[in-house]
Amino acid sequence: MNGVKRPLTMKDIAKMAGVSTATVSRILNHNGRYSKETESRVKKLIEENNYVIDQTAKGLRKKYLETVGIIVPDITNPHFAKLVLNIQTSLFQRGYSSIIGNTNENLSLEEEHVHSLKAQHVCGFIMISTKRYHQSLRRFPTVYLDRPARGGEKEDITIESDNYKGGYLAGKQLGIASCKRLAIIRTNSNDCNQDSRKEGFLKALSEAGIPEEKVDVLDIGDALIQSAYSRIREEMRNGFLYDGLFCTTDTLATGVYTALREGNIKVPEEVKIVGFDDCDLAFTTGPGLTSVHQDVGKMAELAVDALVRRLTGEPLSSTHFYLPVYLSVRASTD
């Protein structure tokens, strides 16, 4: 399109793609009645030519896409950031816009977001909730992700990873590695999936002949890298006791790693570590972190599918989904 000085119009895009302007409009509005092939051709042209939708051509499009509210406890946690990115992408493919309310695990802020987004007419919620259930969202299209709706009703949709199994796999791994002095590093900012992970872990250890009393539990106030780092630095002042650690999130594991590295304690030679989430941090940390893999892509897809079914009145096969997990084994337990 060299030589074209005026901004591109929908007509230009239609001409380039060899389709009608109405087809381009339908594609922009996710409005059906076009082939996948046409859609991808048109979208490619839009992308390549930096075509900007003409805001004044209102007659040609809906006022705006229907919008879903996403509630998330902490976007600085790479696991949640990736999960939210997947949700947004999947929603957009299904023809929904989305906006994010970040709660910082703060109950009042979560309330405020729910209230404010509802007042702004979002059509539904995908909710990683600190509060765990919102009475005000009773019968409002809502999917509870990662943390089941507590005190909710039968028809509330929950999607979560098999956290118990994840903890169990972590315990097996440290048991096989013959660790003797073990600790769980966990956050006490939410009770549900943290408890299941701990229970699964203890079950595997008891099978390996290690009783619960032999396993210390270090509760960190939140799941921040910095908080785990500070706590382990503190522990190290009296000499570091452990040779096996199960960190219930990769962020906690990363804080632990950083503190051990500064104290010249070698992973995995002196301390073996298993994380949970298998997010970018597990891959980039050195040496690589063995971590329980959660399938955030599948999680997002399921959540969006369930929400869209609620919105369109299509039936759901179930209201409670458990996603399988597996262990990504890397150098930290080798």
Strand partners, 320: 158
Using the rule CB under 8 A, give the single segment among 60-68, 215-223, 238-246, 299-307 that binds its own copies: 60-68
Asked if 67 is part of the footprint of its own copies (rule: CB under 8 A), the reply reads yes
Asked if 136 is part of the footprint of its own copies (rule: CB under 8 A), the reply reads yes
Which of 274, 4, 16, 319 minimizes the C-alpha distance to 155? Answer: 319
Helix (H, G, I), strand (E, B) or coil at 325: coil
Q: What phi and psi, each to the nearest 5 degrees, are found at residue 303?
A: -60, -45
Provide the sign of the torsion angle of the four alpha carbons 76, 79, 82, 88, taken in this order.
Answer: negative
From residue 30 to residue 49, what is the string marking binding to its own copies with x (rule CB under 8 A)?
-------------x--xx--
Using the rule CB under 8 A, give the single segment among 61-69, 143-151, 159-167, 198-206 that binds its own copies: 61-69
CB of 213 to its own copies, least distance (A): 30
Q: Rounded to an integer, what distance in angstroms lies between the CA atom of residue 172 and that of residue 246?
A: 11
Q: Rounded to an integer, what distance in angstroms lies between the CA atom of residue 124 and that of residue 121?
A: 9
By CB under 8 A, name the one of 1, 11, 44, 107 that touches its own copies.
107
Helix (H, G, I), strand (E, B) or coil at 180: coil
Using the rule CB under 8 A, give the single segment among 68-76, 182-190, 191-199, 306-314 that binds its own copies: 68-76
Return the DSSP state at 289: P
Q: Rounded to an integer, what distance in angstroms lies between the CA atom of residue 7 and that of residue 57?
A: 13
By CB under 8 A, name the one of 131, 147, 186, 272 that touches its own copies.
131
Using the rule CB under 8 A, give the single segment among 145-153, 275-283, 302-310, 316-324 that binds its own copies: 275-283
Task: Give the largest Cα separation in the chain, rounded.
Answer: 76
C-alpha distances out from residue 82 to 85, 89, 124, 136, Å: 5, 11, 20, 28
User: Where do we find the tokens 């007509």?
Assistant: 11
By CB under 8 A, name the one of 143, 149, 225, 274 that touches its own copies.
225
**Token pair for residue 65?**
């896409």
Asked if 283 is part of the footprint of its own copies (rule: CB under 8 A), the reply reads yes
CB of 168 to its own copies, least distance (A): 27
Please provide the DSSP assignment of 221-262 as one string.
SSS-HHHHHHHHHHHHTT----SEEEESSHHHHHHHHHHHHH
Asked if 5 is part of the footprint of its own copies (rule: CB under 8 A), the reply reads no
By CB under 8 A, name the one of 20, 40, 44, 52 that touches its own copies.
52
Binding site for its own copies (CB under 8 A): 28, 43, 46-47, 50-53, 55, 63-65, 67, 69, 74-76, 78, 81-82, 84-85, 88-89, 92, 97, 99-102, 104, 106-109, 111-113, 115-117, 119-121, 131, 135-136, 225, 254-255, 257-258, 261, 280-281, 283-286
